[in-house]
Amino acid sequence: MRQLTSLLLLLILFFTGPAQAQSPAEIISEAHALFHQASDETNPATAKNLYSQALLRYEQVYRDQPEARLAYNIGNTYYRLGDLGRALVNYRRAEQELAADVNLQHNLALVRSQRQDQFAPNNRKVERFNLHRSLSLKLRTHIFLGLYVAFWLAAVLWYRKRTPLPTWMAAVLLLATLLAFTSVGLDKVQPPAKEGVIVTPEIMARQGDGRNYQAAFASPLHSGTEFVLVQKRDYWLQIELADGRQCWIPSRSAELI
């Protein structure tokens, strides 16, 4: 009987062949369908299960193809699951290439308004608001290349007397090209500080890299709190909050962008 069963299984495998793996596009399509199904679901438990299934598929593809749109979808899914910290992490990852997306900026503002910790920013940290850091490196590179080509095209036309190019226009193009080049070069010479978000519901920050150190603040930090990474030491991160205060948190309590 056992031999007959084995023979039948072999015959089934022979005629049906091995199951074909799904393509990334098919997996994403499934994730979209599950997400929309969850959005229409009235039962909270069922909706949560559907969102979780969609999240697994989005993250499965994102591990091999870390694209901005996928990070945006993952952020939306975490938000629907009530995880503000991981929603914010993924929105920030998407922002690196989709900074001009109005919907993304709306979602970022929404999550930041709902998190528990609200710190007034340190106005001395003006370098974090520089224009060249407000645009993604990819976009700034494209701007530089466009200006570079425009400058040399204008120079060639001027040299061949094909068009009366004013001197001031050439100077403006040259200056804009140099500024764009400087902006791109700054990220190579002095990369921007790594930033992150606390993703655990709450964590007690410490004055040093260990649980034996005294608490840095009277109350714990909560999910969704953003920070700049100062240094990493073993399993601890020294971080700087928006108001300029520094502390240490376990690395597993946060994700870097």
- What pLDDT, in 10s, does the model give residues 162-215? 666 666 676 777 787 877 777 666 666 656 679 999 999 999 999 999 999 999
For the chain, what is the domain count? 3
CB 55: neighbour CB atoms within 10 A? 22
- pLDDT at residue 143 in the model: 81
Measured distance CA(243)–CA(205) in Å, rounded: 15
With CA atoms as reference, report the closest residue to 226 among 124, 132, 86, 95: 86
Q: What is the pLDDT of residue 153?
A: 75
Q: What is the widest separation between alpha-carbon atoms in the chain? A: 93
Domain assignment present for 171? yes
Same-domain check for residues 215 and 175 = no
Shared domain check, 225 and 244: yes
Indicate if 138 and 109 belong to the same structural domain: no
- Residue-wise pLDDT for 161-172, tens only, equals 666 666 667 677
In the chain, % of residues over pLDDT 90: 61
Say yes or no: 154 and 71 in one domain: no
Helix-helix angle 24-40:68-80, to 10 degrees: 30
pLDDT over 50 at 126, yes or no: no
CATH code (residue 39):
1.25.40.10
CA pair distance 56, 242, nearest whole angstrom? 32
Measure Cα distances from 48 to 62, 73, 178, 192, 199 in Å: 21, 16, 51, 37, 19
Question: The domain containing residue 176 runs over which residues?
Answer: 129-189
In a domain, 14, yes or no: yes
* 74: Cβ contacts below 8 Å, ≥ 6 apart: 55, 58, 59, 62, 86, 90
Structure tokens of 137?
Answer: 């490196």
